[in-house]
Amino acid sequence: MDYNSHVNKTNHTGVIMNNHGLYFPEKNVIIKILKIFIIQYGLARKVLVLSITGIIAVSSILTASGPICTWELNEGKGGIVNDSSENNYTGTIIGKSVWTNGRRGSALYFDGNSYIDSGNISLSGTNTIEAWIFPEEWIDGSYQGIITKIPRTSPYPGWALYFAGYNNCMQIMFNMSGKQKRIETEPPRPKEWHHITVTIDSRKMSLFIDGCLVDIRDIQGTLSTNTCNLLIGALYGSGDDIGGFRGIIDEVKIYNKVLSHSEIIENAGINIVQSPEIKVTDYPKTLYSVKFPERSINTNISSIADWRFAARSATWGGWNWTPSADISSALRDKAEEIAGKFAARGVNTVFLDEHRYILVDDHEFENYLYNIKKAVSACHKYHLKIVLHLTVEGVLKPYRDLHPEQAVLDLETKTGAFYPRYGTYAMCPNDPAFIKAYCARLQAIMNTGLDGVMPDETEWLPPKMTICGCSYCREKFKKLYGFDIPLPGDKTVYENFDSPQWRAWVDFRIKSQGDILVKIKETVDKSGPEKLVTACQAGFLISSSSGMNAYGMDVEDMKRGLTAGFYESHLSSPWSWRYTAAEAGYYSAFGPVFILSFSRTISMDFFHWTFALANGLRYWTWPESFDLPVFPFLWEKKWETIITHNDPYCNVGILFSSPALHLIPYENINSMKKEYIGWCETLLEAHIPFETVAVSRITAESLQKYRILIAPATACLSSAENKLLRDFIRQGGSLIATLDCSMYDEKGEKLPDFGLKDVLGISYSEIMKEKKLEIHDNTGRKILYHGPFIKTDLAAGYVDILYSEKNGMPVITRRKYGKGNAFYCACGPGTQYFMPKIKPPYSESGASMWDLRLALGGVWTDNRKTEYKKIILGLIDRRVLPLDTDTPDDIFIRTFRHVNKNYQGVIVHMLNLTGLRINGNVQISADKEFEFLDYPDTGKISVGIKETGIQSAYFISPDFSETVKLPVTLKNEFSFITLSALYRYGFIYFSLSSADAVRDLLNDTPAVDSIPACEEFPRMDNAAWGKILSKNGKIIINISENKILNGKVDYTASVADFSPDYVDFYINEEKVHREKNAPYWCFGDNNKWDTTGIKNGKYLLKAAAVTEKYNCKIETQIEIEIKN
């Protein structure tokens, strides 16, 4: 929890609870978390010494050599506690006093609302503070003062020993010259007596628990003073939330000297027993954690030169999945154990989640850095790279309140922007003060030794085209484009793509988000070479066109500030494999890509991993994967030098123009996306190797790789790009262009005619959003068409009309140009064979277009027109293709070229998806969960590549332990192999060099000559899977600050790592309603509790998420106090 936001400020009587913590807005509701979280405490501690020196000022009257304050708390009754030292600092009990048995004699029980006020006592600067405590409970997210002398306001001069709810740890904080210096540790076990000692002198401060030295910190500066009273049992002496201790405190003493360690042990009265060293052992052998021969030191196969492109990554954190639910506790005591388990399972890169907000006060940020250092040290010990997941433009309320001028300005509402989905406030990426503050914190974070960052929320939030109108955006926009920012309501500009001002505004918002990523990358790169910067980009092609512009995100522009892309695919419906592969190809056009998918079953996780490998992507596992008994990264580790960081093996390219995603009318954009995906899906089914090519990156040299280029509605092309395509055709290449290809320039300006008019021999006269017509081939065969259409005329001689409308208007044409051919389709063949992302019906489920993790029910009808698949394939000269196979359409194939020093080869990935065969309809029932277990027999499969120098061929698969050597047959310039069976996934390796990569990796282990039986895939019953869901699942009740109006409370429940069938809401144990089928894992978006007329008092709001199939439930509750 944020230190500032925890504090209940004057006249603030409400709360917001989100996934970060609690805030207290000025409303009429007080909310406290009731869930109790108990943390274990161990005696053994490692000591951290930092090299900072300085002095502390002697500021007050404590000059005695012995205890100058001793509150033995043996009174046993009354409201006064006596100081048995000669200084006689009598304390007064504030609140209800409950005397009870203590460590010795009596002691005082604190209920969270009471404390002892001991008066204004200052420290000398050389002191020992000690007390016995019996904590009743450490409540997750709460603050509990033990001994403190600190005001409620920043920068918090003074000192405090307390439990910090920000990350659920015990802390001692001294404010030195305005800067907070602290030690933090896991709190001691509740319901037991513990001896706590703090020492401070002119050089360092130390913390001891039960006689054990927990930590030492060197300090610098003078101890900041204040006029507050010294309190026992509370953090603050006033306000609605005093940060009260819950438990018993006894024998509090302050000395005017630093006690020795032996004196502290004597006072603690215990024997110190050190805990044994933690040793990490490997996981038990399972199907994919088998041992394999170490690589020979004599092998010539080099390791992957750049780790960023061979990452086998997993998430550390992710909604508290770790063995200890408290991430900070795990970082402190379990970091090395957890890192060792990652390494044992073949992970080489860890994404650290949870610690996402860095613009917090200095106190919290030092705590933040301490935690990060722990994780970095543990990961590096096991040779793991560690990357931190960060939020950029979303900040928490305290920072927004301190810097309201840095917030975005909504031109429509004239206010800043609160984003309730995340519970954060949006800052402007063009504000120099915000950028400076963020990058300064980022530099400090990178100095911990991190290997990279994943900046998230680099987008305009909320996603509105009216954001941002701040002075910096106005100035920057005017300087770059020469326009004023368009005003809301100006229909001559808003969403008018004929307006240069509107297109400039769209482009500016995209460039602004790319610019801040560039700043972030520049900051990260200062910390050393080979640092990773990646940023999340979720489902760009499936997102609505207007939505993409509202967020201001573009994959290509973002890549300016990234090392690698990041594709959050949500591939939870494997029937969408064609669509997802097409979208992954788009991401890959701009460089290496991580892919994140969400798994609900063991075999689904395996499917996601194999799908990533087959597409040449780096798979990022989500936390629940590590509870599965099967994990295949060790298999991937064995073969990583062959299967990672390879170039596509193909001579067909599909052109993609990023401006065509943003700068042309929405109907054109939607047609383009369908057209592009439809062509990709068709080529995938036909096993035609291809790759997506970013038009902005083409050069004369890069185009030499291709024999065929496809431009599916590639609308925006610059004159230079048109020239490159023109030259490509003239020199013998083939271009297939469709719909509005080359109709716009790179800035979205509509041209008077096709930019490639001279090449195509076609001129356009009208753009039709949707047209029904019959088209005819040269034999008179009729084909129905319904979709976008461009009305055209012949503009040159020697144009062959392959298909025409019944009145003779050309529909599909071919023109010889130089040594090559230019095909043009006035229709969209890809739109007719386009398979959407198979998902629940939007209107029934209420789910977002891309949200498939919910696994809701639905029916999808396959109404693709197979005639257009034939048309598409008929335009491609298969004689020039490098792959020939009789593999069924629903076996996924991707090909890559492998080059590693003296090793060369061709890799053919094969993923058996015949179990997903579509016959007219696809029914996805509400409880359907795809299991990647059993497959139809594919029979023999023949695969050939257009290479004649094949030295050897192998089939390698995680479905069995052996490596299969395959005989090679040469036929018509192709080298063929035959597979007797394909189980789940495997790859063929054709070796093109005398140096044999597979043989050397096997290290004298012999290959077999036939495919072994498939290993049985481990299964998990519902009960076991339900336990995993229960362990990982988390549910949080959210109340939005700006939705507590007129006595009505808007509330939702956010569910993480758990896919419920529904969420039930209760008020005082009475169920008020049930919420189903919620988007974004947020249930109850329109829930309203009308509190007007309700009797004042405390009410319990509870949310329970239920998955009936697994008989599994998670729940949480909060207390709401109504004060009308």
Q: Which of 1066, 1068, 1058 is nearest to 1097 (CA)?
A: 1068
pLDDT digits (tens, 9 = 90+) for 63-78: 446 788 999 999 999 9
pLDDT digits (tens, 9 = 90+) for 619-676: 887 655 555 545 588 899 889 989 987 999 999 999 999 999 999 998 899 899 999 9
- Return the biggest CA–CA distance within the chain: 113
Q: What is the structure's pLDDT at 570?
A: 65
Task: Name the average pLDDT for the chain.
Answer: 81
pLDDT tier for residue 276 given thresholds of 50, 70 and 90: very low
pLDDT tier for residue 778 given thresholds of 50, 70 and 90: confident
**CATH class in words for 393-569:** alpha beta
The sign of the torsion formed by the CA atoms of 1000, 1005, 1010, 1014 equals: negative
Q: What is the structure's pLDDT at 368?
A: 83
pLDDT digits (tens, 9 = 90+) for 290-344: 232 232 223 334 455 688 888 998 888 644 333 223 345 556 567 888 888 888 8
Q: Are 458 and 535 in contact (CB under 8 A)?
A: yes
Mean pLDDT, to the nearest integer, of 44-65?
Answer: 30
**CATH class in words for 1023-1122:** mainly beta
Strands (E), 40-126: 67-71, 80-81, 91-94, 98-101, 106-111, 115-117
pLDDT digits (tens, 9 = 90+) for 441-450: 999 999 999 9
pLDDT tier for residue 538 given thresholds of 50, 70 and 90: confident
SS3 489: coil
What are the structure tokens assigned to 162, written together?
């307390």
Q: What is the structure's pLDDT at 859?
A: 58
- Look at residue 3 and tell me whether its pLDDT is greater than 70: no
SS3 947: coil
Whats the size of the chain, residue-wise? 1124
User: Position of tokens 């002398």?
Assistant: 149
- Look at residue 402 and tell me whether its pLDDT is greater than 50: yes
- Look at residue 752 and tell me whether its pLDDT is greater than 70: yes
Q: What is the structure's pLDDT at 148?
A: 94
pLDDT digits (tens, 9 = 90+) for 1039-1072: 654 344 456 677 777 776 676 778 888 888 888 8
What are the structure tokens assigned to 738, written together?
């469709």
pLDDT tier for residue 83 given thresholds of 50, 70 and 90: very high
Measured in whole angstroms, the distance separating CA 716 from the mean position of its chain's CA atoms is 31
In whole angstroms, give the CA distance from residue 202 to residue 1114. Answer: 50
In CATH terms, are 43-268 and 876-1002 the same topology?
no
Q: Following DSSP, what letter does each residue of 157-208 receive, concatenated? A: -SEEEEEETTTTEEEEEEEETTEEEEEEEPPPPTTS-EEEEEEE-SSEEEEE
Q: Following DSSP, what letter does each residue of 465-476 receive, concatenated? A: TTB--SHHHHHH
In whole angstroms, give the CA distance from residue 893 to residue 793. Answer: 39
CATH 1.10.8 fits 876-1002, yes or no: no
Least confident among 752-761, 1083-1092, 1108-1117: 1083-1092
Q: Where are the domains of the chain?
A: 43-268, 393-569, 652-871, 876-1002, 1023-1122
Ramachandran area for residue 317 (φ above 0: left; ψ -120 to 50: alpha; else beta):
left
Mutual orientation of helices 666-685 and 866-874 as an angle, nearest 10°?
Answer: 80
Q: In terms of C-beta density within 10 A (0-12 exposed, 13-18 middle, 19 or more buried), how is residue 426 classed?
A: buried
Q: Which residue has the higher pLDDT, 167 or 90?
A: 90
Q: What is the structure's pLDDT at 675?
A: 97
What are the structure tokens assigned to 514, written together?
């790319």
Mean pLDDT, to the nearest integer, of 502-523?
Answer: 98
SS3 10: coil
CA angle 117, 123, 125 (to 5 degrees): 160
Q: What is the structure's pLDDT at 472?
A: 97
pLDDT digits (tens, 9 = 90+) for 696-747: 999 999 999 999 999 999 999 999 999 999 999 999 999 999 999 999 999 9
CATH 3.40.50.880 fits 652-871, yes or no: yes
Q: Are 638 and 1001 in contact (CB under 8 A)?
A: yes
Number of H helices, E strands in the chain: 22, 59
What global pTM score does this model have?
0.72
3-state helix, strand, coil in the chain (%, to 5): 25, 30, 45
pLDDT tier for residue 505 given thresholds of 50, 70 and 90: very high
CATH topology for 43-268?
A: Jelly Rolls (2.60.120)
